[in-house]
């Protein structure tokens, strides 16, 4: 595994993540239209049960999202997103010992979920939506910045790069600089290469192969490829049959130094992480 080039203690609200090792983040979509599990966990009790099951399986973070960002997805109103997400964040905070990540770009959701117990802001738009950066600064929470061009509605309309890894790195470096200038501590920034966002299959595979180049940015990497179309296209599998491909990529991401794996299949991914860690720690 690539050694950490940054301080490994990440305060997340009232909890701390130890980034000397890889963590598994369980996905909890509170949406009717997410590509994999849309609608399954829209009700509070079902969402809380699923979150508890993921924590029991070894997840140290739960990523709660109320706005689908699948290709072609349309935005929802801030009020609708807040009504979906806030009760779930509050319930998880009260019931479970886990870092709550909120998958949002919406200032009102950032502020309110931080008040309710969220420990991490995970924004696919890298805090570029109007007011999002100020809201994130006000919370004092760590943030995850992801690479994406455009919006989910149009990000897959013939994305082009002259230097894929260089352009992804430059984008993330620029967003980091803007966040730091606004008042976010550099040590509270996590980076996500954005697999599946404004990238073709070839882009995704090449970026994954050369992911270690992103360690030059000096921040921990979050990788989310669970059940995504890059697996389906390579293996010719529907969403429900992409587990083995996802586990292969999880193993590769961990070996390349990723510190957070964002996944649907928590128990299986935790086994992968534990097995690799056991080999790496052997004499």
**Active site members:** 228, 262
Instruction: Give the helix/strand (H/E) hosting 40.
Output: none
- CA angle 274/239/64 to nearest 5° reads 65
Helix or strand (DSSP H, E) at 222:
strand 222-223
CA distances from 228 to 14, 44, 134, 225 (A): 32, 26, 31, 5
For the chain, how far is it from start to end, CA to CA, in angstroms?
Answer: 15
Burial of 181 (0-12, 13-18, 19+ CB in 10 A): exposed
> How many Cα atoms occupy the beta-carbon half-sphere of 49 within 13 Å?
7
Encoded tokens for 241: 């049959």
Cα–Cα dist 166/179, whole Å: 20
Q: 196 vs 104, 124, 221, CA distance in Å?
A: 17, 11, 16
């Amino acid at each position: 595994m690539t050694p950490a080039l940054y301080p490994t203690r990440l305060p997340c609200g009232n909890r701390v993540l130890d980034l000397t090792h890889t963590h598994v983040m369980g996905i909890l979509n509170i949406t009717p239209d997410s590509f994999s599990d849309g609608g399954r966990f829209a009700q509070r009790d079902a969402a809380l049960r699923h979150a508890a099951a993921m924590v029991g399986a070894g997840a140290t973070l739960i990523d709660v999202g109320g706005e689908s960002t699948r290709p072609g997805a349309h935005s929802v109103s801030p009020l609708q997103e807040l009504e979906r997400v806030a009760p779930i964040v509050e319930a998880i905070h009260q019931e479970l010992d886990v870092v709550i990540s909120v998958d949002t770009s919406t200032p009102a959701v950032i502020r309110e979920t931080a008040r309710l117990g969220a420990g991490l802001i995970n924004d696919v738009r890298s805090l570029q939506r109007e007011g999002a950066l100020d809201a994130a600064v006000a919370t004092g929470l760590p943030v995850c910045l992801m690479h994406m061009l455009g919006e989910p509605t149009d990000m897959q309309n013939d994305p082009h790069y002259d230097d894929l890894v260089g352009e992804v790195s430059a984008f993330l470096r620029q967003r980091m600089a803007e966040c730091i200038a606004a008042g976010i501590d550099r040590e509270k920034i996590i980076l996500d290469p954005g697999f599946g966002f404004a990238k073709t299959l070839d882009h995704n595979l090449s970026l994954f192969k050369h992911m270690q180049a992103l360690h030059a940015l000096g921040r921990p990497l979050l990788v989310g490829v669970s059940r995504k179309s890059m697996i389906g296209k390579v293996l010719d599998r529907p969403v429900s049959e992409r587990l083995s491909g996802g586990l292969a990529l999880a193993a590769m991401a961990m070996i390349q130094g990723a510190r957070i794996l964002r996944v649907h299949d928590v128990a299986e991914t935790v086994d992968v992480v534990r097995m690799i860690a056991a080999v790496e720690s052997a004499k």
